[in-house]
Amino acid sequence: MATIKDVAERAGLSTTLVSRYLNQRSGVSPSSKERIRNAIKELNYRPNGIARSLVLQKTQSIGIVLDNLCAPFAARLISGLEQGAEDFDKENKYNVMFCSSNGDAEKKRRHINFLTQGRVDGIIIYGSLTSDDTLISELAQSTFPFLLIENDVEGIPVDKVVIDNVDGAFRATEHLIKQGHKRIAHMAGNMNLKITLERMNGYIRALQDYQIPISSDLIIHPSFDSMELAVKDDRYLRGDRSYYSAGYREMKKLIDGGNLPDAIFFATDISAFGAMQALEEAGLSVPDDISIVGFDDEDPRDYGATNHKITTMRQPLYDLGYIGIKRLIQKVNNPERPEERIVLKTDLIVRDSCKSKK
């Protein structure tokens, strides 16, 4: 591969001049320009961005690492990220690069390590790492600019943008309460996840606020299988179905138990979809026999479910990305700014799965 030196030699000029030409700086005479242009063409020269970045201490790029590029929610998140990068810095455009770990924690680690070794100017990490994520705190010690989305790690000052899960769950439950429901159950998510705790918290607070007694019978803790195969008919089904099966199983138990609650707030739509299948099979109707509110605004079709129109709390994924990358770029350009924790609210999307109780 030809280098800037080769070009300079060929053009009979100094590398300084060639560099100036390449970066369209002033101080290059027209005749020199011409000679450099020719030399470049003759040698098929392509500048080495790596070397350039080394001296400039800047790559003009941003890395994003997430678990699953093809996940149902990813599209909206990605759009937000791309658009944010576009809108923020119109002249010095940032190149946004995505790395997908496909649920492999080790791979995610590797990606983060790779990118944070100066390969990009900053990174955004979506979602949590394994429980013992010393990597985040190590990163926080260094000065490398990074930002977390949907990973509300505690104890370390870190830039992050997160969802207000407590508020979302509160409002979801409140929605049910305001429709006159009293026996409101909650089907929790994976208890290893912080968001599960937060959502349960919101549920409990809503009941407390409206002076509805909290019954532990009505709080359901499904057990989750490990991630279920997301491939069907060689067509990639975008979502992990383990929550679906869990919802199905628990709903079945509930139906068999005989004492159905008025309403259920699900920590995630996916479990709700599974539950709805169980209800359907039992000849029960949503919302006539039971009201349901979910969370996440998932697309039932991504989980092979029938097209339920479920009332749900929707995460502002686009905004998560948009705001996140804006903040990161600010950080890149002004490392002194103190860390921020940005909280976004969820939206209540009212569909057909709830009904007022007479």
Partner DNA sequence: TCCCTTTCCGAAAGCGCTGCCAAACATTTA
Partner DNA sequence: TAAATGTTTGGCAGCGCTTTCGGAAAGGGA
Cβ proximity to DNA, 34 vs 87, nearer residue? 34
How far apart are alpha carbons 146 and 65 in whole angstroms?
A: 11
Instruction: Give the one entry of DNA, a copy of itself, none that residue 3 binds, where binding means its C-beta sits below a cut-off of 5 to 8 angstroms depending on kind.
Output: DNA
Q: Which residues of 131-170 are buried (b: 16+ CB within 10 A; e: fewer)?
A: eebebbeebbeeebbbbbbbbbbeeeebbbbbbbbbbbbb
The binder of DNA chosen from 10, 32, 61, 272 (CB under 7 A) = 32
User: Of 206-235, which residues contact a copy of itself (CB under 8 A)?
Assistant: 234-235
The binder of a copy of itself chosen from 14, 15, 33, 47 (CB under 8 A) = 47
How far apart are alpha carbons 60 and 49 in whole angstroms?
A: 10
Is position 143 an interface residue for a copy of itself (rule: CB under 8 A)?
yes
How far apart are alpha carbons 151 and 153 in whole angstroms?
A: 6
Instruction: Give the one entry of a copy of itself, DNA, none that residue 151 binds, where binding means its C-beta sits below a cut-off of 5 to 8 angstroms depending on kind.
Output: none
Window of 25-33, 160-168, 237-245, 263-271 that interacts with DNA by CB under 7 A: 25-33
x-or-dash string of contact with a copy of itself, 262-301, rule CB under 8 A: -----------------------------------x-x-x
| CA 144-52-117 angle, 5° bins | 25
- Closest separation between CB of residue 110 and DNA, Å? 16
x-or-dash string of contact with DNA, 51-70, rule CB under 7 A: xx-xxxx-------------
Cβ proximity to DNA, 91 vs 234, nearer residue? 91
- The most distant pair of C-alpha atoms in the chain lies apart, rounded to whole Å, by 90
Q: Is residue 283 a contact partner of residue 39, using CB atoms and an 8 Å limit?
A: no
Q: Is residue 228 a contact partner of residue 141, using CB atoms and an 8 Å limit?
A: no
User: Of 170-209, which residues contact a copy of itself (CB under 8 A)?
Assistant: none
Cβ proximity to DNA, 93 vs 178, nearer residue? 93
The backbone region for 88, taken as left when phi is positive above 0, alpha when psi lies in -120 to 50, beta otherwise, is: alpha
Is position 70 an interface residue for a copy of itself (rule: CB under 8 A)?
yes
- Nearest Cα neighbor of 172 from 213, 194, 152, 200 is 200
Is position 78 an interface residue for a copy of itself (rule: CB under 8 A)?
yes
Window of 9-17, 103-111, 120-128, 216-224 that interacts with DNA by CB under 7 A: 9-17
User: Pairing between strand 341-344 and 235-236?
Assistant: unpaired
How far apart are alpha carbons 151 and 320 in whole angstroms?
A: 12
Rg (CA), the chain: 26
How far apart are alpha carbons 102 and 201 in whole angstroms?
A: 30
Cβ proximity to DNA, 10 vs 327, nearer residue? 10
Tell me, what amino acid is at 6?
A: D
Is position 142 an interface residue for DNA (rule: CB under 7 A)?
no
Instruction: Give the one entry of a copy of itself, DNA, none that residue 22 binds, where binding means its C-beta sits below a cut-off of 5 to 8 angstroms depending on kind.
Output: DNA
Both structure tokens of 222: 């499904």
Tell me, what amino acid is at 214?
A: I
- Nearest Cα neighbor of 240 from 200, 277, 269 is 269
The binder of DNA chosen from 10, 20, 108, 175 (CB under 7 A) = 20
Query: Which residues of this chain interact with DNA, rule CB under 7 A?
Result: 1, 3-5, 12-20, 22-23, 25-32, 47-48, 51-52, 54-57
- In the complex, the residues that contact a copy of itself under the rule CB under 8 A are 1, 44, 46-54, 59-61, 63, 69-70, 74-76, 78-79, 82, 93, 95-100, 102, 110-111, 114, 116-119, 138, 141-144, 234-236, 238, 297, 299, 301, 318
